[in-house]
Amino acid sequence: MTFQGWLLIAAFVGILLALTKPMGLWLFALYEGRRTPLHAVIGPIERGFYKLSGIDPDAEQSWRRYAVHMLIFNVALLLFTYAVLRLQGLLPLNPQGFAGTSSDLAFNTAISFTTNTNWQSYSGESTLSNLSQMLGLTIHNFLSAATGIALAFALFRGFARRSAATIGNFWADVTRVTLYLLLPICIVYALFLIASGVPQTLAGSVDVTTLEGVKQTLALGPVASQEAIKMLGTNGGGFFNANSAHPFENPTALTNLVQMLSIFMIGFGLTWTFGKAVGNPRQGWAILAAMLLIFLAGVTVTYWQEAAGNPILHNLGIAGGNMEGKEVRFGIAASALFSVVTTAASCGAVNAMHDSFTALGGMIPLFNIQLGEVVVGGVGAGIYGFLLFAILAVFVAGLMVGRTPEYVGKKIESREVKLAVLAIAVLPLIILGFTAIASVTDAGLAGPLNKGPHGFSEILYAFTSAVGNNGSAFAGLTANTPFYNGMLGVAMWIGRFFIIIPMLAIAGSLAAKKYTPETAGSFPTTGALWTGLLVGIVAVVGGLTFLPSLALGPIADHLAMIRGQLF
C-alpha cells in the first residue's frame, strides 16, 4: 500500500461528500416537481411527452397503481429489446453484418438491461450492432436508472406524507428524472469522454498498423454516449467485452476517477434528499455515515490484499502486489477502489478482472453484493434497499427498549416489518438456491473454467451478481449457454421486482399513517448509536447469504493459495 493510493481514496470520498448536498438539492426539486433552471429549455419537451401519451402528471397514484404502471412499462421495454436483438440481422446500423442473437441470449440480455443488471453473456463488439447497442441497450440504461430513482421517490413520500392514499405518479417521476437529471449530465459527460479519447461514431471498425508493423482491426461504435449513462445510471454493461478496462471505454486515470465518482454521485445525493423529504437532513447524513463505514472497510481489505500480493509468487522470489488482471495505467489502488465502488453500487462495470484478484480481495466485491448492494447501491435501489434495513433496525431497537418502533415520525408495525423481511429474504434464498442447482447439475458444472473452490466461487458470484442486479462477474464462468442464460435471467427478474413490490407496499402503508412526534422516550435515529446499529443489521443480514457459502467460497480459495495449490 502506498501514500498515493490512500490519497486517491481520500480524494474520492472528499469529492463525493462535497457533491452530496448540491446533488441532493437537485434531486429534491425533482422529487417535489419544482421548477428548475432547465425547465425553460426542457419544459416544453416534458409537456409534449405528456400530451402525446395522454398522461396527467398531477394525477397521483396509489401504491398498487404505481406498481402496476411500473411493471407494464418494464415488460414493454423488455419485449421491445428482445425483438431488437432477435431481428438484429434485418435492422439498419449494422456495419459488421451481425446476425440476430439466439433466443436464450436475447432473453437473458433483455431482462438484464431491463432490471438495471447489465449482465453480459457475450462480447459486445463481436455480437451486437450499433443499433442494438443504442436502441436496445442504451435506452434501458436511462430508463431502468430513472425507474430506480422514481421508486426511491415513492418510498420517500411514504415516509414524508401524512394520512395520504397516494405516493406520486410513476410516469411523471420517470420523465422528470430522465429529462432533468440523467440526460443533461450525460450530454456533458459524453463530451468529456470524447475529448479524453473515447470513440463516438457509427463506423463499425477501423484498420490500423501497429508499431510492430502488424495490421489490426479495431472495433468502434457509439461508445461515449453509452459509457456516460452506463456509469451515471449504475448500469455497468460495457460496449466492449473488457468493459472499463478497455482503453476505448476508460482511457486515462482521470476518466477512471470521473467514472468512479459518477457511479456514487446520485446515490450519495439521494441520502440527503431523503433527509430533506422527511424534514430532517440529519437522517440522511446518518444513513450516509453507515454506508461509508461499510464501504471504507471493504476498500481497506481489498487494497490491503491486492497490495500484499500472492504468497506463492513471493515464495518464488517475485515480490510486489497482485497485478494479474489489472491495467498498468490504473495500478493496484485504483483497481481495488473501482472494484469496491462498482459492487457497493449495483453498477457491475469493471476496470480489472475480479476473477484474478486475491482470494480475500475478491471476497469483498462478492460480499458487497450479498449485502443487497445497499452500501450506496444502485441509483434509487440503494437507498430504498437501505431503508428496508432501517425498518428492521428500528424494529430491533424497539424490541430492546420495549417500545413501539418509530422511524422519522412513522410507527413501524408488523405489516411493514413483514414486508421488509419478505423483500430482504429474496436475496439469500434465490442466490443460494440457484447456486445449489448449478453446482449439482451437468449443465451448471460445465460453466466454470476452474475446478474446486474457485470454480464454485465463479458460480456463486454469477448468481449473486444476477440476483443483486450488479452485472459484474468472475469471468472464468462460461455463461452464454441455454442453462445459464435462462437461470440468470430468471434470477435477475426476481432480484429486481420481488423486492420492489413489497417496498412499494411499505410506501403505501407508511403514507397512510399519521405523523408521530418524537418524545423523550423515542429511539434517536441520527446519532452514532443509530449508525452503528444500521451497520450491524446490514452486516448480520448480509451474512445470511455469505456464511453458508463461506467454506467453499473465497476463504477456501485463500487457504488453498497458502498451501501452494493453484486453481
Nearest Cα residue to 255 out of 233, 224, 221: 224
Which pLDDT value is given to residue 199? 95
Contact 380, 268 (CB under 8 A): no
Beta bridge partners of 208: 216
Read off the pLDDT of residues 278-289 as tens digits, 9 standing for 90 and up.
999 999 999 999
DSSP state letters, 188-249 = HHHHHHHHTT--B-S--EEEEE-TTS-EEEEE-SBHHHHHHHHHHTT----SSTTGGGSTTT
Which pLDDT value is given to residue 566? 40
Once rounded to an integer, what is the mean pLDDT over residues 343-365? 90
**Helix H or strand E segment including 400:** helix 381-401
Q: What contacts 111, CB < 8 A, 6 or more positions away?
A: 78, 117, 489, 492, 493
Query: Is pLDDT at 93 greater than 90 in this prediction?
Result: yes
Query: Is pLDDT at 547 greater than 70 in this prediction?
Result: no
Give residue for cell 475446478: 451
Which pLDDT value is given to residue 176? 97
Which pLDDT value is given to residue 124? 86
Tell me how many helices (H) and strands (E) the chain has.
Answer: 21, 4
Sign of CA dihedral 72, 78, 84, 86: negative
Which pLDDT value is given to residue 550? 57
Which pLDDT value is given to residue 565? 44
How far is it, in rounded angstroms, from Cα 367 to Cα 492? 18
Which pLDDT value is given to residue 554? 52
Contact 178, 232 (CB under 8 A): no
Once rounded to an integer, what is the mean pLDDT over residues 382-403? 89
Contact 373, 469 (CB under 8 A): yes
Q: What contacts 185, CB < 8 A, 6 or more positions away?
A: 228, 232
How far is it, in rounded angstroms, from Cα 331 to Cα 329? 6
Which pLDDT value is given to residue 451? 77
Give residue for cell 443488471: 117
What mean pLDDT, rounded, does the chain reach?
Answer: 91
Per-residue pLDDT band for 510 (boundaries 50, 70, 90) equals very high
Beta bridge partners of 448: 477
Contact 545, 432 (CB under 8 A): yes
Which pLDDT value is given to residue 552? 46
Read off the pLDDT of residues 8-18 as tens digits, 9 standing for 90 and up.
999 999 999 99
Per-residue pLDDT band for 556 (boundaries 50, 70, 90) equals very low
Query: Is pLDDT at 211 greater than 70 in this prediction?
Result: yes
Once rounded to an integer, what is the mean pLDDT over residues 80-89? 96
Least reliable range by pLDDT among 23-32, 53-62, 82-91, 425-434: 425-434
The answer to pTM > 0.85 is yes
Least reliable range by pLDDT among 33-37, 475-479, 517-521: 517-521
3-state secondary structure of 448: strand
Radius of gyration of the chain (CA): 23
Query: Is pLDDT at 143 greater than 90 in this prediction?
Result: yes
Contact 30, 379 (CB under 8 A): no
The DSSP code for 526 is S
Please report the beta strands in 341-457, taking only residues with DSSP state E, as ranges in sequence order. 406-407, 410-411
Which pLDDT value is given to residue 567? 37
How far is it, in rounded angstroms, from Cα 233 to Cα 143? 9
- Phi/psi region, residue 58 (left: phi>0; alpha: psi -120 to 50; beta: rest), is alpha
Contact 182, 144 (CB under 8 A): no
Beta bridge partners of 216: 208
Beta bridge partners of 206: 218
The DSSP code for 178 is I
Residue 158 identity: G
Contact 229, 263 (CB under 8 A): no
